[in-house]
Amino acid sequence: MSNLILPPGYHSELNLYKTQAAIKTVKDFFQSLLAERLHLLRVSAPLFVDPASGLNDNLNGVERPVTFDIKYQGSREAEIVQSLAKWKRYALKKYGFSVGEGLYTDMSAIRRDEEADNIHSIYVDQWDWEKIIAREDRNEDTLKETVRTVYKVLRKTEKYMSIHFDYIEEILPHDIFFVTTRELEEMFPEYTPKEREYFIAKAKGAVCIMQIGDDLENGKPHDGRAPDYDDWSLNADIVVYYPVLDIALELSSMGIRVDKTALLRQLEKAGCPERASLPFHRAVINEELPFTIGGGIGQSRICMFFLRKAHIGEVQCSIWPEEITRCAEENGLQLL
């Protein structure tokens, strides 16, 4: 049970019925405002893809995607998506979006190798979004401006929820603090990346951690990031301090996507240059896809944060180890 945090004296302020209503309130307000501020259109998206297309997200490179065969297509294999980072660039081109316009969609995934705890589940639900930018806008200023826009939507949502629910107080600071992984390493050289995130998040309230994926001075990356969607020099995570669990909580991951140069460099560094022959990667190398910025925002994560829940299972339906289910019931955690 070492991976389950039980806050002393915790109890849910909302019963199951009111929790479901509150989840809808959070999601409706947040996605509507996000679409407005980033100029996004909601679109339909696939639940599964052809593994030979190279469209699936490899995440950290070790997670096993869920696969199944299609009976009436000669047992052709399909993979449940792990995210839609690559598919979205195809969709933007196919649907005829222009520079400054983007899309968002509901993404559901199954991550079979995820270790369940208060903030992780084998079921993942997030808003995946992507927006076309000009070649000259592939820079840090564009990244920071977009991060600030998403963060303002988070703050607006917290204010909205605090008006509708008396027990919710605003805790997000007015501004988000920007820091690179190398700067974090210099600040806290003796600590692990997760400990560094905790210290900076608790000190600042909300931080944008940039440049994730490449090796630091110690020869290891701050965190794993697939080499073929984010440009490791132009990506970021939004992390906030969550007092209910006394943790650093990641709410969003985003980045300016790879161009030809970044893709080839990162594939080489990651030791998988053979991926350059896959259809998606060839399209990037041949500049057949638009330049974009995009990311994912955890739906259950933000519901958990804004409703001040102690376990992600209180805002989403999943399967948990029996020991966690029993312990949750004994300690006031209302798993759906």
- Examine the residue annotation and report whether 44 is marked as an active-site residue of this protein: no
Catalytically annotated residue among 89, 111, 257, 308: 111
Catalytically annotated residue among 253, 266, 299, 318: 253
- Examine the residue annotation and report whether 237 is marked as an active-site residue of this protein: yes
Catalytically annotated residue among 126, 211, 233, 300: 126
Closest to 232 in 3D by CA, of 199, 259, 192, 272? 259
- Examine the residue annotation and report whether 250 is marked as an active-site residue of this protein: yes
User: How far is the C-alpha of 206 from the C-alpha of 209, rounded, in Å?
Assistant: 10
Contacts of 2 (CB under 8 A, 6+ apart): none
42 by Cβ neighbours in 10 Å (0-12 / 13-18 / 19+) ranks as: middle
- Examine the residue annotation and report whether 126 is marked as an active-site residue of this protein: yes
The SS3 call for residue 244 is: coil
The SS3 call for residue 145 is: helix
Catalytically annotated residue among 13, 223, 250, 259: 250
- Examine the residue annotation and report whether 111 is marked as an active-site residue of this protein: yes
Output the DSSP codes for 8-57. Answer: TT---SS-HHHHHHHHHHHHHHHHHHHHHHHTEEE----SEE-GGGT-S-
Catalytically annotated residue among 128, 237, 266, 316: 237
- Examine the residue annotation and report whether 253 is marked as an active-site residue of this protein: yes
Contacts of 286 (CB under 8 A, 6+ apart): none
Catalytically annotated residue among 57, 79, 158, 228: 57
Residues noted as catalytic:
57, 111, 126, 237, 250, 253
